[in-house]
A and B are shown apart, each in its own frame.
Chain A
Amino acid sequence: MNNPVSLPLDSLHKEMGGHITDFHGFLLPVRFSSITAERQSVRDCAGLFDISHMGRFVIKGKGAAAAVNHLVTSNLLAVSPGKALYGILSNPSGGAIDDIMAYRFSDDRVDLVVNASNREADKKWIEEHLPKGVSLEDLSPGHVGFALQGPKSAEIVALVESGAPELSRRGALLLPVSGGDILISRTGYTGEDGWEFFGPAEQVSRIYRQICSVGAPFGLKPCGLGARDLLRLEMGYPLYGQELTPETTPFDAGLGFAVSSKKGDFIGRNLLLDEQGNPIHYEDHRLLVGFSVQGRGIPRTDCAISSASTGKVTGTVTSGGYSPAAGGGFGLAYVDRPFAEDFALGAPAYVRIHDQSLPIVFRTRPFVQGGLI
């Protein structure tokens, strides 16, 4: 195992009292104060996350947008230039290589933000599939990325020079600076309004510090990975490696909205459209479901789900946690497809936590609008 990489904001995080952890080979704060308090600040006002571990690629050259469109499940050509799009890099079997954000700036330039753990694999896969004249540039090493998230984000970003308050939801722009450009977009991973910045360390670190200070009077808190994971789980958003793997398709994960049947050919298209049209042939694919726990227990990754009527194990928890809003445990699980339908209709089931079986009930996603809050 290589030594974990220290990111440019690392020393600042330590000054700010961050508790640092090794996340996929990157040293990042898991929390500054308390995970619950940080999560609350994002739901009530604002929070600031270091996301410098995420990868950023620039795909450039004649037909770059069409080339990326061939690699993702969603339709990049249907969004206007200056907009971001969520999509899945699919393998030929429809499984997920990664889930990514694609920022279309023109027919000849698309920026991609990818998961830290998949950066090298993504780069290799994309480069292998780009046509002549289209190239990939990896801007990740040494860059800084951060996310400002929460209902007060618009007010805070308006106070920052080069904050791009004019962006609409999923809008994106490139701000030229010495040493490159800053990718700014009105996007995020928490379900709240927010802005994300990626670019050269010096300039983006300066904006990060500025947001820290102008945001403080609004109640902004620096936040760690703990709050980030809880916030995304409350929204039911997938985390690659847990809800998405090379063996799971977007339909298995409930991400059918990210698969376009109208666009032209793309890698994985045939099997994905077949799964969409003939789900009966895919009964061996498990389906992702949301649930909450009745009683005292917090489900964690790999806890078993069983059917109360048959007593058989029918699924496995992929992500779980404690909802401060609901005062109980909740999570996401892959369950056998026939059982998923019964469970959604109210069939009783259990989750196994520390040698105890606790009843669970089906929940629609996002949890934060599905009855937990």
Chain B
Amino acid sequence: MTQSKRFARLAERDINKETFVEAWPDAGLIVADGPNDPRPSLTLEPAPHKRVIEMDGKTRAQFDSLDTFIADHFLDLSVAEEAMATPSLQIARMLVDINVPADQVRRLALGCTPAKLCEIVRHMSVLEMMMGLAKMRVRKTPANQAHVTNRRENPALLAADAAEAALRGFAEIETTVGIARMAPLNALCVLVGSQTGRGGVLTQCAIEESMGLRLAMKGLTSYAETLSVYGTERSFVDGDDTPWSKAFLASAYASRGVKIRFTSGTGSEALMGSSEGKSMLYLEARCLCIVRGAGSQGVQNGSISCIALPESLPGGVRAVLAENLIAAMLGLEVASGNDALASHSAIRKSAKLMLQFIPGTDFIFSGYSAVPRRDNMFGGGNFDAEDFDDYNVLQRDMQIDGGLRPVREAEVLAVRREAARAVQAVYAELGFPEIRDEEVEAAVVAHSSDDMPARDIVADLAAADRFLEGPQDVRDVISALRRHGFPQIAANLTEMLRQRTLGDYLQPAAIFVRDDPSSPKPTFRVLSALTDPNDYAGPGSGYRLQGARWQEITALPQARSPHDFIADRIGAPLPNLHELGPARPGRFNEVIVCVGPAFGTALTQTINGLPHEEVLKAIFTGIAKEGMIARLIKAYHTSDCAQLGFTASSYSGSGIGIGLQSRGTAVIHKRGMPRLHNLELFSFSPSLTLETFEQIGRNAAKYAKGEAVKPVPVTVDNWARLRLIVKTALLHRRETEEVRDKPPQELFFDWEPDV
């Protein structure tokens, strides 16, 4: 078969490293609207009992334990009949309608069965879902969550990376372990590091449920997230839980003042081989009803670690947005995925991100890998530490608050050092294996764990075991920090504990912001569904990125003052260039060079740094080599290249003229041609060399002599425009500033070509 070179090139693209598969409903390989999904239905026992006796096509006797839980703990029976009788299309339209408040939609959603919730979103495009998400998100201010882990489980590096992540603006930091027994130490390091970067950042350690609870009770974590739920009874049991055990766990955490959110997501049931032939979205809707029914304030959803599975199927990315939307409809805090590796293609992963980034969610990522993806122990890193600058630019481009902020290298190094030293002191005080100065220094500047010296893992694990079983807890950590000269970190940790006793951060979508950053004693303020409710109701309402926060996002360290772009193109005016008086039309066979009004005076170099004097010499040399005479005039009435060429030719005795802007753009024009037409145009000024300018002079002279002319070859560099457009605009602006109501002037260039 004939082979296309284009197809061969396409086959090498990142997108073609992905797996794409056709839907197979019976295996659960269908993202939404599966042929085996039930149609929405609900029957209640008549008053006064008002109990669910039928739901989504199953009688109560046919319910599995998930159905029972949904019927008895999720559904708001006071509104269920009304909600089920309201056409799904109407509720879908309410989601998009800015005149319908979120509360009205939520009231109905809480009376909808899982199948009904799916039927509502079935009517919606991704754009409409994004509108719905912007309105239904529970917290007004969007935020972001980080992953901080490393392959070598190095404590100094964990603390330093957590500090940097906190400084970069993450509201939550999640860590986990390579070796499960290391959990208490990793949690400790991320806790200390986070409170070094910014007091009030919430931290967690993803680990087996019982261990997670023990870490929280020791004060080493301030929230828990990996309370996983599944959409079929079989997969729920395989996950070693029931809705009741999960709900009890949620209460156990809350009894110690610790925030939790559940985790679910499309694809997990199919991956576990027990989808019951149902679509991913239908099973996820069941999960979300259980999450709400169990009393979790929120959920991590958006397919999470299974993301590659829905993305292999048609409509997968849309379905993932739909599950975020359903969660928000139910009043759940949403930490919306974008965490696990989802694509090889930078285009595809960025496009997918926009579905959460643009509407905003409570946590746009769950989480963003604040370490290089090789160090991400979650299988995460769809976006990672190497994408920080890209992400900051996206925020600045779209004026969207994605939860991060640009940072300066010096401030990052400072908090990394402080955090690594603090955890070094804590290890010493608590009798853990020493963190050497060499490790601290390495952690300050490290990019990844490859930059770290090795540690004795066996000794660290033994210390982790003793720490978990022993009486020491976060109070000992605080004492150690105080004693070793880290009062600010100690104060932040103490405030985190005080917040636990208040419980405000148990409310939906809670994060902490610092009350008064100048106060030495920190107090944290809670932003939650109660204190910062989303009031989006169309343009001019809801969260608006403005004021100090917008200034912070605009201030990229890479951004330069516009003046910097042209400073080096301004020099001393050329000493050998003299203005004689008004230019006169020529009568001889000559070539006129007409320069722009800033040439050799306000500006003295072209865009790529060629001195104007050298450019003139090159052109004059070219003209002289053809035995012709050059005359130089300066236009004041225009800065436009075509106009300069037109002016040159109209004054030229031969009718041939060269227009030359200060930035170097040139044109050869012939009298009688329309103004915007030309003999040759050299618009890629950055690629013009002195040799090219000499060629331009030669060709102009040849035109004047009436010879056949081969056009000057020019390099075409489409990236030059991208790189230099700001400089181009500013140089042109400077030239245009010199425009006067003054006729072209004769210039004397005090130099003779040596030909």
A binds B: no
Binding site for A on B (CB under 8 A): none
